[in-house]
Chain A
Amino acid sequence: MHEFGITESIIKIALDKANEAQASKISQINLVVGELSGFVPDCIQFYFNFLSKDTTAEKATLHFELIPAQLRCRDCSAIFQPENSEWNCPECHGQSVEIIGGRDLYIESMEVE
């Protein structure tokens, strides 16, 4: 639901960077989205199609690199990817875990003409 504002930010950053590079067209935006970031690529794409109209980003391809959630057990230090909503450590079954990956949300790069 909160992807509208995020998509506005993506377009603003992309247009600023394209302008700096004196590009006339943005053909691809490469985004990195973590599984735990709470942002849904399909929603970003939906808003992007609408918000990018009449800009140099219109019709640009959005490429999403999805980063899986990664957790570390505070008891035995095992690093694992949670399955479904099961956040217990698969090694020692400890319940004390720390998020070490999967919260990303950034523009990695763009392809421009």
Chain B
Amino acid sequence: MKKIEVLQNILEANESIAVRNQQLLDKHKVFAVNIMSAPGAGKTSLILQTIARLKNRLNIAVIEGDVASTLDAEKVKNEAMEVVQINTRNMPESCTLIAAMIEQALKDLPLEDMDLLLIENVGNLICPAEFALGEHKRIVISSLPEGDDKPTKYPLMFTNADAVIINKIDFLPYVDFDIPVFRRTVKGLNPKTRIFELSCKTSVGIEDWCNWLLQEVEAYLLQVKSA
């Protein structure tokens, strides 16, 4: 019997593929955003609103991650320049997208012609927090009907987010969602994150979100062009 020291990070395989994905995106000057939330919080609606506002400025493609079905890809396909559906049902990880799935999907996208890639992760507030995909920004959506306690229950997801979106703000008269409490909890976990309040249904607040995203894409393009 002998003991061997290993000291190897088990997520390293995923992380090295994520790094490769980002290098490929950078080579083609494509800014990638990983959009995460619980099921039904409004990931697809946010993507549709974002494309509607920004498609005259940016060429936007979408990767749709779902356990099953092509419903979301169908909704997005008329708006986006290109959409790739990933179904995770028969893959090793069914509860989240992982870097290897994105690596495959990137082969089916016209990277040369794209500026922005919106990646809709599988609806889940736990697993996607652990798996880098190669994205430049991580966005988490919480919606009013879910309640204001999600950052307390799923802290990792909010700790790593570059921006947090409070969606379905039009529900405010009907639900007990305390926005200041939610903001305080999120800022406690992650002081640097940006928080946007909006409604994909009424379009309130969409402009602020899109302006921020556009600024981020433009800053990125300047940076990769000068590199």
Residues of A within 8 A of B (CB): 1-2, 4-6, 8-10, 12-14, 17-18, 21, 23, 27, 31, 36-39, 74, 85, 87, 94-97, 99, 103, 105-113
| A95 x B185 contact (CB < 8 A) | yes
Contact among A38, A74, A96, A97 for B129, CB-based, below 8 A? A38
A-B contact pairs, 23 of them (CB 8 A): A1-B93, A1-B127, A2-B95, A2-B130, A4-B93, A12-B13, A17-B8, A18-B4, A36-B156, A74-B191, A85-B153, A87-B189, A96-B187, A97-B188, A99-B155, A105-B9, A106-B7, A106-B8, A106-B10, A107-B6, A107-B7, A110-B3, A111-B2
| B152 x A10 contact (CB < 8 A) | no
In the complex, what residues of A have CB within 8 A of residue B93's CB? Answer: 1-2, 4-5
Which residues, 97 to 118 on B, are CB-close (under 8 Å) to A? 98
Contact among A27, A85, A103, A111 for B152, CB-based, below 8 A? A85
In the complex, what residues of A have CB within 8 A of residue B9's CB? Answer: 105-106
In the complex, what residues of B have CB within 8 A of residue A38's CB? Answer: 126-127, 129-130, 156
Which 10 A-B pairs rank lowest in CB-CB distance, beginning with the nearest?
A5-B92, A95-B188, A1-B95, A107-B6, A96-B188, A2-B127, A5-B93, A2-B93, A106-B9, A105-B10
Shortest C-beta distance, A30 to chain B (Å), equals: 8
In the complex, what residues of B have CB within 8 A of residue A108's CB? Answer: 5-7
Shortest C-beta distance, B183 to chain A (Å), equals: 11
In the complex, what residues of B have CB within 8 A of residue A23's CB? Answer: 2, 4
Residues of B within 8 A of A (CB): 1-11, 13-14, 92-96, 98, 126-127, 129-131, 152-153, 155-156, 159, 184-185, 187-189, 191
In the complex, what residues of A have CB within 8 A of residue B4's CB? Answer: 17-18, 21, 23, 109-112
In the complex, what residues of B have CB within 8 A of residue A5's CB? Answer: 92-93, 98
Q: How distant is the Cα of A95 from the Cα of B94 in the complex, in angstroms?
A: 34
CB closest chain-B residue, reference A8: B92
In the complex, what residues of A have CB within 8 A of residue B156's CB? Answer: 36, 38, 99, 103
| A13 x B6 contact (CB < 8 A) | yes
Given known pairs A2-B127, A107-B6, A111-B2, the reply for A9 and B191 (CB within 8 Å) is no
| A87 x B153 contact (CB < 8 A) | no
CB closest chain-B residue, reference A88: B188
Given A14-B6, A23-B4, A109-B3, 18 other A-B residues pairs in contact with their CB atoms under 8 A: A2-B127, A2-B130, A6-B10, A9-B11, A13-B10, A17-B8, A21-B4, A85-B152, A87-B188, A95-B184, A96-B191, A97-B189, A99-B159, A105-B9, A106-B8, A107-B8, A111-B2, A113-B2
CB closest chain-B residue, reference A12: B13
